[in-house]
Chains A and B, each alone.
Chain A
Amino acid sequence: MAALRRLSSPSIPPLRRIVSRSFSSASDDDQSVLTIETSVPFTGHKIDPPSRSVETTPKELLTFFRDMSLMRRMEIAADSLYKAKLIRGFCHLYDGQEAVSIGMEAAITKRDAIITAYRDHCIFLGRGGTLLEAFAELMGRRAGCSKGKGGSMHFYRKETHFYGGHGIVGAQVPLGCGIAFGQKYCKDETVTFTMYGDGAANQGQLFEALNMSALWDLPVILVCENNHYGMGTAEWRAAKSPAYYKRGDYVPGLKVDGMDVLAVKQACKFAKEHVLKNGPMILEMDTYRYHGHSMSDPGSTYRTRDEISGVRQERDPIERVRKLILSHELSTASELKDIEKEVRKEVDDAIAQAKETPMPDPSELFTNVYVKGLGVEAFGADRKELKSVLP
C-alpha cells in the first residue's frame, strides 16, 4: 500500500493557484475576452504543445460552471437512484471527470463525432442529450435515449454524432477510427474523438487501430481519459509506460490536465486543427474519478481516502471554475449557489418525470434486432406476392 501511495501520488500535482495571471479586460460584460493561463503546461510528444494562454469569456465560464454542476448532480443522483434500486445492473459514474467532456464540447461542433466506452452519461449530456432521456434510460424506461434497451453503458445520440457508449473495454477504439474513415471518405472536414481509459490503453486493438489511422491519416483524436485506475488496478501496475500520450510512438501526443476545463478546450481545439491536416493524435487527459469503477466498487480498496479527498480539494474541475469566476468577479458566490440549486431542481424534476414514464412494451423485445432490409417482403419459395422498394 505504501508503494502504491508513493508511486501514485506524483501523478497528483501540488496545489497551484488557478487564478489567472493576466486577462484582457476585467469587466463582466459578456463580450469581453478573458485570457487565462492553464495551471499545468501541456507536454507534447513529437509535437509542439499549444500555448498555455486560453481565451474564454465570462459567459463561457459560467456555462462551464453550470454544465459541470449539472453533470455532477446527475451522477450523484444516479448514485442515489442506484442505491434505491431504481437503477440496476452496471453503472459507471463520471463525477470528477466532467471537465473532459465540457472542455471537449467547447472546442468542437456537434458535427464532429464522439465515441466513448461505458462511462458515458455525461458525454451524452454534453452532446445535447436531455436529463430525462438519460434517467429514463438508466431506469430502463421507454423514454430513454436507447428506448430502455441499452442501459447505462449504451447511450447514443445519432443526430449530434454521439456514437455511443460501448461496454467492451477498448473495442470502441476501432469503431472510432472507422467513423473517422467515414468522415474522410465523405470529405466531411469533421473529426472523431475516440475516448478510452488508461485501462483500455493496454488493449492490442488500440495499437492496431492507431496504426491504420496513422497509415491513412484519418481525422481521429484518441482521447485517453487517464483516471489512473483501470477498475482497481493502478496504472503503473498494468502499464510499463503510463505516459499514454507517448505510446502512439509515431503518432504525436499531448498530455493535458484533464481537471482543467480550459486546458481541455485548448488541447481539443489544437488537436482538431492538427488532425484535419496531419492525421491522428493522442490526447492524454490526466483526470480522476471520485466514485469507484462502478457501483459495486466502493473505490477505496486500491486507493486511499486521502488521495480522493486530496484531489477533490486541490484539483476539482468545478471548484477550479468557481474560483476563477469569483476571482474575476464575474459572479458572486451566492449566485453560483443559486445556479447549483437550479441544477439540483432540474435533476430532481427530470428524475420525477422519468419515474412517470412507462416501461418498454413487451413487443419491443423483438424490435430493432433486425432492420427489414431491401424493402422486399417475399412469401415462401413460390412467392407470388412481392413488394419491393429498391434503394
Chain B
Amino acid sequence: MAAVLQAAALLMGSQTDIKKFRLRSALRSAPVRREGFFIVRTDGRLSATSGVMPRRAKLIPNAVAVKADTTASSAASKPGHELLLFEALREGLEEEMERDPRVCVMGEDVGHYGGSYKVTKGFATKFGDLRVLDTPIAENSFTGMGIGAAMTGLRPVIEGMNMGFLLLAFNQISNNCGMLHYTSGGQFTIPVVIRGPGGVGRQLGAEHSQRLESYFQSIPGLQMVACSTPYNAKGLMKAAIRSENPVVLFEHVLLYNLKERIPDEDYVLCLEEAEMVRPGEHVTILTYSRMRYHVMQAAKTLINKGYDPEVIDIRSLKPFDLYTIGNSIKKTHRVLIVEECMRTGGIGASLRSAIIDNFWDYLDAPIMCLSSQDVPTPYAGTLEEWTVVQPAQIVAAVEQLCK
C-alpha cells in the first residue's frame, strides 16, 4: 500500500509527467499479486468513467501509448472494462472468432476443459468442437495440421499448453511454418498463431520453465511478440490472428492474472511496435514480458535516487522496432537490456548486436544486458530467484551505466 501511495504522490508531484507516465507495475516483487496493481490512465485518473461508448470496429494503433498527441489518449480515456490478462486474451480471441469464421483454435484441452489457463473457456459450447479442436497429446502433428489447415486458408490459433512442449513441434514450426511462404515463391501464406505460456514460473522445474524465445528467433519467416499487459495481450492477439504471417505469441505464465482496465472499443495493436512504458532521459531500459515489472520496480527505486530511466517494452521480439529503440538511444545514449531469455544467443544478444550495428555512434557507454542465467531453471525457490534478473540487479546496472 505504501508503494501505491508513493506512486500516486509521485504522479501528483509532477504534473508534466502525468501525461506521459503510465505506471502499471506492481511496486513489489510479486507481479501476480493483484492488490499490487493499479491503473493510471494517461490523463492521470485512476479509473475514468465518462459515458459509455459503443464498441466500434476501429483500429487504434498504439492506443496504449503515452503521448498525448496520438490517438492513444482518446482511446485510453474511454471508460473501458477491467479484466485479467488471460481474460483479455480470451476476449481478443473470441472477437476474432466471431468476426472471421476461418479462425479456429486447436490444442490440448482447449475445448471441453477450457484451456489449461482458461484462455478458451466456454468456446467449445459457443463455437463447436470443430472450431475449438481438442487434440491428442501430439504437438508435432497437431501443429503440422494447423499449418496444413492454414495452407488451405484457415487461420488456426495453435495453443501449446506450455512453450516447452512446442519443442516437439519445432520441425513443423521451423521447416513448414516459417519457410513455406518463401519456398513456394509466395504462393502459400501460413496465417497461424502459435501461442502459449512460457517463462520462469513459480518452481515449475526446468522443463516447464523454459525461455524459448532464443530458439525461435532465428527461424526465418516467423514473427514473435511477447505480451505483458491485458491491454497489449488483447491487441497483439487480435493482430497476430489477422496477420498473414505465422506469429508466435509469447505469454508469461506468471502474468495471466494481471488486472487492467482496457478500452471497450475494438482495437488492434501493431505487431512490429515497441511500447513506451516510461519516458525518461538518463538511460534506455529495453525489456519485455515479465521483466517489464521487475524493471518498473527498479525504476521506482531509481527515480527516488534521482535517475530518470526510459523504459521500453520491446514487445516485438522479431523484428525489433528499431525506430522506437533508436530514438530512445539517440536521447539517452545509454542502454540496459533486461530480459528473461537465456544469456547465450538470446533476444538480448540479438538486440545488443542490432543496436551496435545501427546506433553505435550514439552510445556513450557499453550496452549492458541482464539476462537470466544459462542454467536449466532449478526447482528450489531461492535458486530459481537467482536464475532470473532481480530488480536490485537492474538498479545496480543503471547506477553503473550512469556513473
Contact = CB atoms under 8 A, between A and B. Distances in A.
Contacts of B243: 371, 373-374
A376 B239 CA distance: 10
Given A156-B184, A369-B182, A177 B268 contact: no
A150 B151 contact: no
Contact of A181 (B59, B145, B273): B145
Given A374-B239, A374-B242, A381 B323 contact: yes
A391 B96 CA distance: 11
B324 A380 contact: yes
Interface in B159-194: 171-172, 175-176, 180-189
B321 interface: yes
Contacts of A115: 148
A166 B144 CA distance: 12
Nearest to A383: B62
A388 B175 contact: no
Contacts of A374: 239, 242-244, 268, 270-271
Contact of A146 (B104, B131, B184, B274): B184
Given A212-B145, A371-B244, A374-B268, A171 B171 contact: yes
A216 B188 CA distance: 25
Interface stretch (A47-55, A203-211, A281-289): A203-211
Given A146-B184, A208-B138, A370 B221 contact: yes
A185 B130 contact: yes
Contact of A211 (B57, B61, B136): B136
Contacts of B182: 149, 368-369
A369 B221 contact: yes
B69 interface: yes
Nearest to A115: B148
Interface string A169-193: 0010111111111111110000000
A297 B309 CA distance: 62
B161 to A, nearest CB: 16
Contacts of A215: 136
Contact of B151 (A147, A163, A186, A381): A163
Contacts of B321: 380-381
A209 B136 contact: no
A154 B184 contact: yes
Nearest to A194: B148
A293 B266 CA distance: 55
State the majority secondary structure of interface residues on A: loop
Nearest to A162: B187
A84 interface: no
Given A378-B270, A378-B272, A205 B141 contact: yes
Contacts of B186: 147, 367-368
Contacts of B135: 212
Nearest to B180: A164
A175 B184 contact: no
B121 interface: no
B70 A178 contact: no
A2 to B, nearest CB: 38
A335 B171 CA distance: 50
A381 B145 CA distance: 37
A381 B274 contact: yes
Interface in A201-236: 204-205, 208-209, 211-212, 215-216
Contacts of A151: 183
Nearest to A215: B136
B61 A388 contact: yes
A376 B184 contact: no
Interface in B43-98: 57, 59, 61-62, 65, 67, 69-70
Most chain A CB within 10 A, of B100, B140, B182, B243, is at B182
B154 interface: yes
Contacts of A1: none
Contact of B185 (A149, A372, A380): A149
B145 A164 contact: no
A173 B148 CA distance: 9
A115 B181 CA distance: 15
A88 B281 CA distance: 56
Given A373-B242, A373-B243, A178 B67 contact: no
Given A175-B147, A186-B154, A205-B138, 17 more contacts: A171-B172, A174-B140, A174-B148, A178-B145, A178-B147, A182-B154, A185-B130, A186-B152, A205-B140, A211-B136, A211-B138, A373-B239, A373-B242, A380-B321, A381-B67, A390-B268, A391-B242
21 contacts: A145-B185, A149-B185, A158-B184, A163-B151, A168-B171, A174-B140, A174-B141, A174-B147, A175-B176, A177-B144, A178-B152, A179-B148, A185-B149, A216-B133, A369-B181, A369-B221, A370-B181, A374-B271, A381-B321, A383-B61, A388-B59
4 tightest A-B CB contacts, nearest first: A178-B148, A174-B144, A182-B152, A373-B243
